[in-house]
Amino acid sequence: MADHDLDLVVIGAGSGGVRAARIAAGYGARVLIAEEYRVGGTCVIRGCVPKKLLVYASRFADEFEDAAGYGWTLQEPRFNWPTLIANKDREIARLELAYTTNLERAGVKLAKSRAILEDAHTVRLVATGETIRPRYILIATGAAPWFGPPIPGIEHVISSNEAFHLDELPARILIQGGGYIAVEFAAIFNGLGSEVTLVYRGENILRGFDDDLREHLKSEMTKLGVRIVCGKTVSAVQRTQRAFNAKLSDDSTVEVDKVMFAVGRWPNVAGFGLDEAGVRWAAGRGIAVDPLSQTSVPHIYAIGDVTNRVNLTPVAIREGHAFADTVFGGKPTAVDHIDVPTAVFSEPEVGTVGLTEAQACQRLAKVDVYKTSFRPLKMTLAARDMRAFFKLVVDGESGRVVGCHIVGPDAGEMIQLVGIAVKMKATKADLDAVIAVHPTSAEELVTMREKALSHRREAAE
């Protein structure tokens, strides 16, 4: 293809790449997007969307049980894994088609091929060998599961990618990891009836989240039957005649039918040609970019998980949009990565935004903490021993709510709205001025009156 026949080549048709391509094309740019696997990327094909469908499936078991307290008599419910997976796959195929159609409608050319950088100006489509020299290149190749340091038997271990396509539901599964993907899959398999052991090397799951939230979630998940083993790692996996033996760092052994690792993800750049193009790497992180997502090579940009900033779909989408506005829309736009609300679709669910109590104490002179734990109304007749947890972290000087942490049903839905208030710099007094919606769990957000704790940093001598 002749020089600059294209304004933009986007590499990777995931959350960020698709948005960037469509918006750039909308500004009149001639755009090609290359995808080596399936259009939609991690989120649509093997991330958020299929995961949430499995989460929904896993929650029915408790609903069936709880219905009895409300007068319902049900026949013994039966679950069929292949039906769930087939239905999930059908929905994912529909979404993939919708993404492809939207790209075509926007006038974006799609190349179903791996693409690599030959040099700073040349993109090669591996499937055809064709080379392209566009005006701009956007790297949006995302990230892939990382398995940690090699251990004997690692070839028997699956990642979240394979978990979506198992032939049958494992009766017993060991999941190593303490991040949100490990915790969510532990909840999914537990809800669907597997015996789940969650092994995490740190002292508690969900590192980086608020400590009270972590403690609360661990205790609730344990009540639901997930065996959580902290402070240990899997040192080897051995195949036996009918199962696997996972050996732990304390020499104990757990016999399971599947072993899954969710210990981290790593940017998709292997063999991609970053060095050939002179694109700089931020050590231990991802592709180095400035606030406008520009790399060390001025006409090459990078967005989403490959830059390892905040690895969430809405962030990748926002970065893709901002890139197109900046480069083709004449509106330089930096994405604000502060106070991004997020959910963990565990059971019970987690929603969080802003600073943890520990972070607030490091940054602020005065911190007030409001928290409560209670049994949601629905759990009373269901006779289920499940407690929700709400916490507000407040700047003791300005009164601003700087963090909110929720564990309980619909926490993800709630935190989206709390996120608006936090972004608008709402104070505790603003929340208190709102009249409660009763009876809900969310009303706790506007009815917590008593400070649970006040931290005051001593003035320097």
Please report how close the Cβ of residue 64 comes to ligand FAD at its closest, in angstroms. Answer: 25
Please report how close the Cβ of residue 275 comes to ligand FAD at its closest, in angstroms. Answer: 15
> What residue ranges bind ligand FAD (CB under 6 A)?
11-17, 34-37, 41-43, 47-48, 51, 114-116, 140-142, 160, 181, 268, 272, 304-306, 311-314, 316
Please report how close the Cβ of residue 344 comes to ligand FAD at its closest, in angstroms. Answer: 8
Q: Tell me 29's DSSP state.
A: -
Which helix (H) or strand (E) segment holds residue 430: the answer is helix 428-432
Q: Tell me 38's DSSP state.
A: -
Rounded distance between C-alpha atoms, residue 252 and residue 248, angstroms = 5
Q: Which residue among 299, 405, 438, 455 is the active-site one?
A: 438
Asked if residues 31 and 328 have their Cβ atoms less than 8 Å apart, the reply is no
Please report how close the Cβ of residue 112 comes to ligand FAD at its closest, in angstroms. Answer: 9
Please report how close the Cβ of residue 219 comes to ligand FAD at its closest, in angstroms. Answer: 23
DSSP 151-217: -TTGGG-B-HHHHTT-SS--SEEEEE--SHHHHHHHHHHHHHT-EEEEEESSSSSSTTS-HHHHHHH
Tokens of 17: 């790449």
438 is an active site residue:
yes
Q: Which residues are within 8 A (CB) of 105 and not within 5 positions of it... i.e. 6 or more apart?
A: none
Measuring CA to CA, how many Å separate 214 from each of 217, 346, 349? Answer: 5, 12, 12
Decide: helix, strand or coil at residue 455.
strand
Which is closer to ligand FAD, CB of 40 or CB of 396? Answer: 40
Beta-carbon neighbour count of residue 207 at 10 Å? 12
> CA nearest 409: which of 440, 436, 437?
440
Which helix (H) or strand (E) segment holds residue 277: the answer is helix 274-277
Please report how close the Cβ of residue 350 comes to ligand FAD at its closest, in angstroms. Answer: 11
Which stretches within 15-77 are classed as H helix? 15-26, 41-46, 48-67
Torsion of CA 40, 42, 48, 50, to 10 degrees: 80
Which is closer to ligand FAD, CB of 42 or CB of 190? Answer: 42
Active-site residue set: 438
